[in-house]
Amino acid sequence: MPMQKKFLVGLIGADIQMSKSPALHETEGRRQGLDYRYELLDFSERGLPASALPDLLDEAEQRGFAGSNITHPCKQTVIAHLSRLSEDAEMLGAVNTVVFRNGERIGHNTDWYGFYENFQRGLPDVAKSHAVLLGAGGAGVAVAHAAIKLGIETLSIFDQDSKRAETLAQQLNDRFSRDCARATTDVGSALRSADGLIHATPTGMKSHPGLPIDAEWLLPRHWVADIVYMPLVTELLALAEGKGCRTLRGGGMTVYQAAAAFELFTGIAPDADRMSLHFTDLCRLSA
């Protein structure tokens, strides 16, 4: 019987104990005939500040990890500790997957593809003249890129750090050679002329409960796409569904970015549809 190929990978971030990534990756690894282990390197669990990121990267590399996923709050700060970036990661200035190979740390971004694929499947026919994006951090930059690639004509971007929103809007306009994005400080006003809302902040996660907008700003004609997937139905999505809005849950983005990361770690293409079914089962079990 041939020896199983071994892979040790992980996830670096804060408040990640509820992550579905270990089960999602390990089950697909097993189905591919691999000895595949996925560990959580959690700042919160270890009582460490986010500034301990270099130590966790060193630990992963020294222990022989094939790579690690990167999540909040490290998708941008991790770049300073990498050897080089893939074209996507360099373009977006955010990394969610690091591959350790031949003494190098290579940063990739599979988030934008995850959001793109999820939206294509879940909201294929919605109006795309104007959308509002909440969050211009590491996830926001990837989602914004995907939004323009999806055909959204104008993207209004809000972030608590208004400079960050302005920078992202300018980057998109330069990248796509047209005025496709603008920063906004008034989400309520922007939503009045928007077709939909994309949410890319931690608000709504179990560790950051609440609504990211005033409830009355949302109208039945809006579509709402959330990237938070724990819980699967966030307060924002529950509000939107209650008003009759079309919605897109964050779980699909998680599955498709995970499938792309799995292939980067192993060199083996996973079965994304199978991973999607497994993810739905995991969410049902933990609901």
Q: Which residues are designated catalytic?
A: 75
- In DSSP notation, 210-227 reads S-SS-GGG--TT-EEEE-
| Amino acid of residue 116 | Y
* The token pair that represents 67 in the structure block: 């790579």
The dihedrals phi and psi of 11, each to the nearest 5 degrees, come to -135, 125
**Are the CB atoms for 229 and 202 separated by under 8 Å?**
no
Q: Which residue has the tokens 């590399």?
A: 61
Residue ranges of E strands in 21-166 = 35-42, 67-70, 84-85, 97-101, 104-108, 130-134, 154-158
Exposure letters 7-16 (e unless 16+ CB within 10 A, then b) = bbbbbbbbbb
**How far, rounded to the nearest angstrom, does the alpha carbon of residue 70 sit from its chain's CA centroid?**
10
* The token pair that represents 203 in the structure block: 């608000």
Task: Please state, in angstroms and rounded to a whole number, the distance separating the CA atoms of residues 196 and 257.
Answer: 22
76 SS3 class? coil
| Amino acid of residue 273 | D
